[in-house]
Structure 1
Amino acid sequence: MFPFYVGPSISSHTRFGATAGALLISLCASVAQADSVSEGKSQLEKQEFTKAAETFAQGFDKGEGEAGFYLARMVELGVGFPADQEKARILYLASAEKGSASALNRLGLMHLRGENVRQDFVAAAELICKSADLGNVEGQFNCGGLFLDGTGQQVNASTAFSYYQKAAVEGHVGAKNMLAIMTRQGTGTQADGKKALEMFTEVAALGNPVALFNLAQIYENGEGTPSSPIDAHLYYNLANERGHPNARTALEALTATMTREQLDEAQTRARAWQATVEASSKP
């Protein structure tokens, strides 16, 4: 099954003793900024977890569904609260009722995986794709995967491609990779090796290991470009450095076929290569 994304992440090694119920009841702090989500996220970045929870809770009480989503994520992950999946699920449901597309996506993933709820692919697809249609980027990526796999609905590669396009426009790296993969294979769109090369090159410049590995394969096989073992070695090397699971085997096999001069050039280029941006956590 294709990888899926929960939505905006919250992570911390700090845990506080306050319970979710106590923080939900104690909502006395005032929030100057009208946008509770922006204010709460800023407080999260400063590790002001109690303040962030109060801010999200106040926004949720005012009808801001996305604020409720972030509060639910804090409860689910145990950021400022003891982790409690059931309380988080109830908050996700309430947030979805107030219009949170992120909460719909998360609820869909719970049904997809059977996380403390009935595993139900049809319900998962309905929730996730509704989130996608409301403009949630992770929902768009996930909905694309469901249509590509035929999970909870009929396989439809062209529809999957269109959802990936929507997410890619918003900068989703995983979606950009999927568009390039599908363009390379001719899945849901016309096969175009040259265009796939351009698409992978754009994402590889960010240091993304999936794009780097695919780019290496394209140069090794000469798809949409002349075959180049030096370029292939360069990108396999970079993908391996960034943890791609198949890159080391491919690198070793290619290394065995190259001359010392070719290897010297490829390794010199790898030392000089620098990602435009740090590699994204999204494949």
Structure 2
Amino acid sequence: DYKETVKWYRKATEQGLNVAQSNLGTMYYNGHGVHQDYKEAAKLWINAAEQGNSDAQYNLGVIYKQGKGVLQDYVMAHMFFNIASISGDKDAVEDRDIVTNLMTPSQLEKAQGLAREWMRTH
């Protein structure tokens, strides 16, 4: 029952659990138990990503690549795929490489700098 799952994820999210934040973001992204809301998914994933959740980091890469809930931004997509790959997400490596082929050298340099800064501050 998706609605019951959402209820429990919300309670856990209020306690600051990053796995619950990430999972609730996925519920919003897919519209399971809630109205589909890409912006709400992005907000939840950012909170979870800041706490080191690699699934949320990967999902942020996906939505920045797609432009769902956020403006399409290959620099940000690359940054989050890179961070997720450093956190151990295997799919992120492949997706980072795909996005790299869509970027200019200056965009790539910016993305790498942002990823380094993120890793220093989170």
Give the TM-score of the pair, scaled to structure 2: 0.93
- The aligned residue for residue 243 of structure 1 is 88
Q: Work out whether 1:185 is the aligned partner of 2:30.
A: yes
Is the 8 Å Cα contact of residues 207 and 276 (structure 1) preserved in structure 2?
no
Cross-structure match for 1:270: 115
Write out the 4+ residue segments of structure 1 that deviate beyond 2 Å after TM superposition. 274-277
1:223 corresponding residue in structure 2: 68
Pick the structure with greater CA Rg: 1
Secondary structure, counterpart of 1:174 in structure 2: helix
Q: CA RMSD in A?
A: 1.4
One-letter identity of the residue aligned with 2:3 = S
- Matching residue's letter, 1:227: Q
* Superposition pairs of residues 150-229 of structure 1, within 5 angstroms: 156-229=1-74
Shift in Å, 1:234 = 0.4
Change (3 A) 1:229 1:246: same
For these two proteins, the number of residue pairs brought into alignment is 122
Paired residue secondary structure (2:119): coil
**Alpha-carbon spacing, 1:170–1:276, altered in 2? closer, same or farther (3 Å):** farther
Q: Which amino acid aligns with 1:207?
A: G
Task: Specify which structure has the higher proportion of helix.
Answer: 2
Structure 2 alignment gaps of length 5 or more: none
Contact 1:181/1:196 (<8 A) preserved: yes
Amino acid across the alignment from 1:178: N
Distance 1:262 1:173 in 2: 29
Greater relative contact order (Cα 8 A, min sep 6): structure 1 or 2? 2
Query: How much has 1:236 moved relative to structure 2?
Result: 0.2
2:8 partner letter:
Y
Letter in structure 2 aligned against 1:177: S
Structure 2: which amino acid aligns with 1:203? A
SS of the residue corresponding to residue 84 of structure 2 reads: helix
Report the equivalent of 1:259.
Answer: 104
Return the alpha-carbon distance in structure 1 between the equivalents of residues 92 and 119 of structure 2.
18
Letter in 1 for 2:110: E
Aligned to 1:70: none
User: What does the per-residue CA deviation read over 1:101-154, in whole Å, with 9 as the maximum and x for residues that have no partner?
Assistant: xxxxxxxxxxxxxxxxxxxxxxxxxxxxxxxxxxxxxxxxxxxxxxxxxxxxxx
In structure 1, what residue type is equivalent to 2:23?
M
Q: Could you tell me how far apart the structure 2 residues matched to 1:276 and 1:211 are? A: 17
- Asked if the contact 1:206–1:276 (Cα under 8 Å) also holds between the matched residues in 2, the reply is no
User: What do residues 172-207 of structure 1 show as CA deviations (whole Å, max 9, x unaligned)?
Assistant: 221111100001111110111111111111111122
